[in-house]
Structure 1
Amino acid sequence: MKVSRLAPTEINDQMALPLFLHAVMDEACSNDEEAEGLSLDINDTLIRRPNTTFYTYAKGDSMAELGIFDGDLLVVDRSAKPQDGDIVIASLEGELICRSLDMQNSCLRSGDSELPPILLSDQVGLTLTGVVSHSIHQHR
């Protein structure tokens, strides 16, 4: 799976949205007093380190088996230490790709079992760019 051009994280204005902790309120809570003051800012939830975080879009279907689909927005942290099983963004000969890191076998794996793994030892022009912390899938 390829990824689109990188976009830096810019938080110009924070927008707090209501946060509903329960799908249905019980009869004892007839007004919004219990929920008053609770809000969620999506940036606070998705971005731990703004200075080292960027967004990019997924292109292609090779990571669909791992839950990342064409057009999904990826939140990538450049300062996160990659761990086995992480979804990472890598630069391979100048092209950005999205893969799963398999440290036990020293390779990057696609979500498509038909595609061969990329062996880390064979790839001189390979650089890990960051770890995908979140993928946001648009439903409509």
Structure 2
Amino acid sequence: MAAESSPLRPRPATGFASPAGDYYDGGIDLNRHLIADRTSTFVMRVTGRSMAGAGIDDGDELIVERARSPRDRSVVVVVHDGELVVRRLALTPDGPVLWTEPRPPELPASTHVGGELEVWGVATRSLHRL
């Protein structure tokens, strides 16, 4: 009769021990690594390719912080003339300027000055699906 293993007896491993085992420090907390303020942070899925030149493609998810103040050249989510869009923001003496950063030549860069503009949040990360 073969001896049955019990929870009290360790089972020997078959193969080699992982060299990463010595460096394991618990699980990964993505909130700690990716989000500065959990109460004002949202994830939004992007539709379209108008920001591909900034590394944001169709279907990517943006981490957006509503409490963060935009700086010059920030990627922002804005309500511009009633439409929610992702754009690059330039802070100029004449007022804010928004533009896209297209990679494909068939999509021209657009600049918008004036009109009603509300910065909804600042994009801090773009998550790509591999």
TM over 0.5: yes
Q: Which residue of 2 aligns with 1:102?
A: 90
Deviation at 1:71, TM superposition (A): 0.4
Q: Which residue of 2 aligns with 1:116?
A: 110
With normalisation by structure 2, the TM-score equals 0.74
Moved over 6 A (4+): none
Deviation at 1:30, TM superposition (A): 6.8
Deviation at 1:34, TM superposition (A): 2.6
1:53-79 C-alpha deviation (Å, 9 max, x unpaired): 111111100100110000000000001
1:60-119 C-alpha deviation (Å, 9 max, x unpaired): 001001100000000000011100111000012321100001113730111137132011
Amino acid at match of 2:123: V
Q: Which residue of 2 aligns with 1:133?
A: 124
- 1:1-140 residue pairs with structure 2 within 5 A? 31-104=19-92, 106-112=96-102, 114-119=108-113, 122-123=114-115, 125-139=116-130
Uncovered stretches (5+) of structure 1, i.e. residues with no partner: 1-28
Which protein has the larger Cα radius of gyration, Structure 1 or Structure 2?
2
State, as a whole percentage, how many aligned pairs show the same letter: 31
Uncovered stretches (5+) of structure 2, i.e. residues with no partner: 1-16
